[in-house]
Amino acid sequence: MRLLPIALCLTVISAATVRAEETAVAVTIVNHITAGTSNVINQPEALLKRLMPIVDSDNEESTHDEHSRPIGGRMAGYRVQVFSDNNVRTAKAEAASKQRIISARFPQYQTYVRYTSPYWRLKVGDFRTQQEANDAADELRKAFPAYSKEIRVVRDRISLPND
């Protein structure tokens, strides 16, 4: 008699699992909101594409960053960090000075001086892959050996080129 409630629970859980597997349709927020109701959502086709899960060729949802969609003209990528300091008196000026020097020598790379409390940082480039960023970091190390201890590749939100 004690096993009867447990067996009943297991039966219900397995039936629910089978039902969920049978109805495994691409679930988007729109499908969730409109399921079983008379709600109607009008949206542009581009928005629908952004809401759909990203599916690899193996029909598995992908969470890999190289497949991420750009948000606001920006996407996950890499930059080369050349300078980072939290000295209140000198860090901003030093970052700006290094930015001018690097921009003059490498005009093909965009430079970014940013303040993220308490650090001033100088980052260079917008690279989609880590290998591209490593190649650029090697170029910067060869051109500026004095900066080589600080040069490192970091993950960042990169600006997309205007193609």
50-59, 88-97, 98-107, 119-128: segment of lowest average pLDDT: 50-59
Q: What is the mean pLDDT of residues 19-34?
A: 61
The tokens for 14 are 């397995």
Q: Which residues pair with 112 in a beta bridge?
A: 123
Q: CATH 3.30.70.1070 residue ranges in the chain?
A: 74-159
Residue 148 confidence (pLDDT) above 60? yes
Dist. CA 124–CA 150, nearest whole Å: 13
63-67, 85-89, 120-124: segment of lowest average pLDDT: 63-67
- Kindly report whether the global pTM for this prediction surpasses the value 0.75: no
Strands, E, within 68-151: which ranges?
Answer: 74-85, 111-116, 119-127
Residue 20 confidence (pLDDT) above 60? no
For residue 44, give the 3-state DSSP assignment. coil
Q: Does domain 74-159 have CATH number 3.30.390.10?
A: no
What is the helix (H) or strand (E) element at residue 29, kind and residue range? helix 29-34
Q: How far is CA 89 from CA 43, 119, 122, 148, in A?
A: 51, 12, 16, 23
Confidence bin at 83 (pLDDT 50/70/90):
very high
